[in-house]
């Protein structure tokens, strides 16, 4: 069998029944670091058993590009897992759904709906709106005002950042913007946090599905959060259905509902009813836009703030660039983006040094295929260790150093190294990439234009190790915020 040859050729950890290779994974290191350690011993491509599942771990960028890009179709499957099945009603979302014609249709629909909020439309910019009436409710202004009201005592910026990013996603998904302290916004923040906490600690459940039958506090908390989420989103969906008109979609829910009827028409003409996008799909997509949109963007922003506290010279240089290219008279706008090169490098360096997803969501081989000349049989799980790729000393000079200049060449022009893949690549590449980049740009540029961040007197520098849950998060840290000239109130 080709499968048995493949298993012989890729170095593989030993295993015991039921536990798989678990006894050889001791030491308590998080997976991305453990895999780096194992790669030193076994080589960049190795295998292990997660419970009963034969799993190949990819550490080098060439092999990763092969899996994600060159043979992307072969490896575009996803394994089924207990927690994500609960989260997504058995894979009716994008991220955790297995590859299928319906998934392709669904992903395309989501992609084109996101394009509605992209750069060209100015829609996202409305979130940092210039109109005075929107000042307080707009997320960017709101965040600036809130941070600046933190006073001179040190405070944790995370709650304000998470709330602001959640607000942006609420605007995009169902056109709601919330004022500070709004009960519905709090509810969204709370249930999302509950899912984040439980889905990662529920990882064990995914390796041993039979634990599902045991009483499990984690699983019941996850279920409770999902119930709250579903109640809120179902209400939004019903409201949107009732007020849907023929005009331009107001938000993601409108775009999905319109696409849904479009795809049904398309299906009928092709006679394949089974593939249409159901209400469940619409609901799961909205839920996922929240999960993916909030966790990733807020975590990246917090990592960058943590690094700016470690590197005040980078903050100074960012502010010099902003003063030179934008000034203090007006708010930053999307059209400034091409001018703010150094800011772009800082965002890239933040995503390189602390990828939110240090090991990508597992892929599975949909057909017999190969990686680096080793054959891989259908059904094999593949873990791409983005951490090892972003910290490979052969491709990055002093990889543990925060150095945004590595994204500039000798002439000060931007460069994107081939081993920089913060959003993945190929058929499973992040669908929110352009949205995420735009948000990171708008938030960071506005924050640094209007205020400076420093450590509270006597406080320790932020811990940069982070804490691995569903994403890699910085541990809580404190900042002191001071307004820059002209921005004493946080907004104009």
- One residue of 293, 462, 466, 490 binding ligand HEM per CB under 6 A: 293
Partner from ligand HEM, ligand PLO, none contacting 423, C-beta within 5 to 8 A by type: ligand HEM
Give the 3-state secondary structure of residue 303: helix
Residue with the two structure tokens 């000798």: 410
Among the listed residues 55, 296, 315, 385, the single contact to ligand PLO using CB under 6 A? 296
Segment lying near ligand HEM (by CB under 6 A), choices 30-38, 237-245, 293-301, 304-312: 293-301
DSSP labels, 59-121: -SHHHHHIIIIITTTTT-B----HHHHHHTTTT-SSSSSPP-HHHHHHHHHHHHHHHTTSGGG
473 scored as a contact of ligand PLO (CB under 6 A): no
Q: Which does 431 bind (CB under 5 to 8 A by kind): ligand HEM, ligand PLO, none?
A: ligand HEM
Window 73 to 112, contacts with ligand HEM (CB under 6 A) = 94-95, 107
Question: Is 435 a residue that touches ligand HEM (CB under 6 A)?
Answer: yes
Please tell me whether residue 441 adopts helix, strand or coil conformation. Answer: helix
Q: Of 314, 470, 472, 479, which one interacts with ligand PLO (CB under 6 A)?
A: 470
CA 31 – CA 359 distance, rounded (Å): 8
The option from ligand HEM, ligand PLO, none interacting with 199 (CB < 5 to 8 A, set by class) reads ligand PLO
In this complex, which beta carbon is closest to ligand PLO, that of residue 71 or of residue 229? 229
- Least separation in angstroms between residue 435's CB and ligand HEM is 5
Between 148 and 162, whose beta carbon lies closer to ligand HEM?
Answer: 162
Least distance between ligand PLO and beta carbon 286 (Å): 11
What are the beta bridge partners of residue 482? 452
> Does 38 engage in binding with ligand PLO (CB under 6 A)?
no
Considering the complex, what minimum distance in angstroms separates the CB of residue 78 from ligand HEM? 7
Cα–Cα distance between 37 and 330 in angstroms, integer? 49
In the list 296, 369, 385, 473, the residue contacting ligand HEM (rule: CB under 6 A) is 296
Q: What is the 3-state secondary structure (H, E, C) of 334-382?
A: HHHHHHCHHHHHHHHHHHHHCCCCCECCCEECCCCEEECCEEECCCCEE
The vertex-407 CA angle with 345 and 115, nearest 5°, equals 55
b/e burial code for range 309-334 (CB count within 10 A of at least 16 → b): bebeebbebbeebbeebbeeeebbeb
Of 438 and 451, nearer to ligand PLO (C-beta) is 438
Q: Which of 32, 65, 71, 428 binds ligand HEM (CB under 6 A)?
A: 428
With CB under 6 A, what is the number of residues at the site for ligand HEM? 25
Rounded Cα–Cα distance for residues 108 and 106 (Å): 5
Q: Report d(CA 153, CA 103) in Å as an integer.
A: 49
Q: Are residues 188 and 206 in contact, defined by beta-carbon separation less than 8 angstroms?
A: no
Which listed residue (42, 95, 162, 447) binds ligand PLO by CB under 6 A? 95
Position 139 contacts ligand HEM (CB under 6 A): no
Task: Provide CB contacts within 8 A for 296, sequence distance 6+.
Answer: 356, 357, 432, 436, 471
| Residues that bind ligand HEM in the complex, under the rule CB under 6 A | 68, 94-95, 107, 288-289, 292-293, 296-297, 300, 351, 356-357, 360-361, 422-424, 428, 430-432, 435-436
């Amino acid at each position: 069998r080709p499968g048995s040859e493949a298993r012989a050729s890729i170095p593989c950890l030993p295993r015991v029944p039921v536990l798989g290779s678990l006894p050889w994974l001791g030491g308590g290191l998080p997976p991305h670091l453990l895999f780096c350690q194992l790669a030193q011993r076994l080589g960049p491509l190795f295998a292990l058993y997660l419970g009963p599942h034969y799993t190949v771990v990819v550490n080098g960028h060439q092999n990763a590009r092969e899996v994600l890009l060159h043979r992307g179709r072969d490896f575009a499957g996803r394994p089924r897992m207990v927690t994500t099945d609960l989260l997504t009603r058995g894979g009716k979302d994008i991220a955790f759904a297995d590859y299928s014609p319906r998934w392709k249709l669904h992903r395309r629909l989501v992609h084109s709906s996101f394009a509605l909020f992209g750069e060209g439309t100015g829609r996202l910019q409305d979130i940092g709106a210039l109109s005075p009436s929107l000042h307080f409710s707009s997320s960017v202004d709101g965040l600036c005002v809130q941070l600046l009201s933190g006073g001179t005592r040190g405070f944790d910026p995370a709650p304000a950042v998470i709330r602001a990013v959640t607000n942006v996603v609420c605007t995009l998904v169902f056109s709601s913007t919330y004022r500070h302290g709004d009960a519905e916004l709090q509810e969204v923040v709370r249930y999302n946090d509950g899912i984040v906490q439980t889905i990662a600690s529920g990882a064990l459940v995914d390796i041993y599905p039979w634990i599902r039958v045991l009483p499990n506090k984690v699983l019941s908390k996850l279920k409770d959060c999902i119930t709250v989420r579903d109640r809120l989103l179902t209400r939004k969906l019903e409201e949107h259905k009732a007020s849907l008109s023929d005009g331009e979609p107001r938000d993601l829910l409108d775009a999905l509902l319109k696409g849904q009827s479009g795809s049904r028409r398309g299906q009928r003409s092709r006679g394949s009813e089974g593939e249409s996008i159901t209400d469940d799909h619409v609901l799961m997509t909205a839920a996922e836009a929240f999960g993916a949109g909030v966790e990733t963007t807020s975590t990246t922003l917090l990592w960058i703030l943590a690094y700016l506290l470690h590197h005040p010279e980078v903050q100074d240089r960012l502010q010099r660039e902003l003063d030179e290219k934008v000034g203090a008279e007006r708010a930053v706008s999307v059209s400034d983006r091409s001018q703010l090169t150094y800011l772009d490098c800082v965002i890239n360096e933040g995503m390189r040094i602390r990828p939110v997803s240090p090991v990508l969501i597992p892929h599975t081989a949909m057909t017999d295929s190969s990686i680096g000349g080793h054959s891989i049989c259908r059904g094999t799980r593949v873990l791409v260790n983005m951490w090892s790729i972003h910290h490979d000393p052969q491709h990055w000079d002093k990889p543990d150093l925060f150095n945004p200049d590595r994204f500039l060449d000798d002439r000060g022009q931007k460069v994107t190294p081939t081993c920089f893949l913060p959003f993945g690549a190929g058929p499973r590449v992040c669908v929110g990439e352009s949205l995420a980049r735009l948000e990171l740009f708008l938030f960071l540029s506005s924050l640094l234009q209007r205020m400076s961040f420093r450590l509270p007197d006597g406080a320790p520098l932020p811990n940069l190790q982070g804490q691995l849950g569903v994403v890699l998060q910085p541990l809580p840290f404190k900042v002191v915020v001071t307004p820059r000239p002209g921005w004493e109130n946080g907004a104009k």
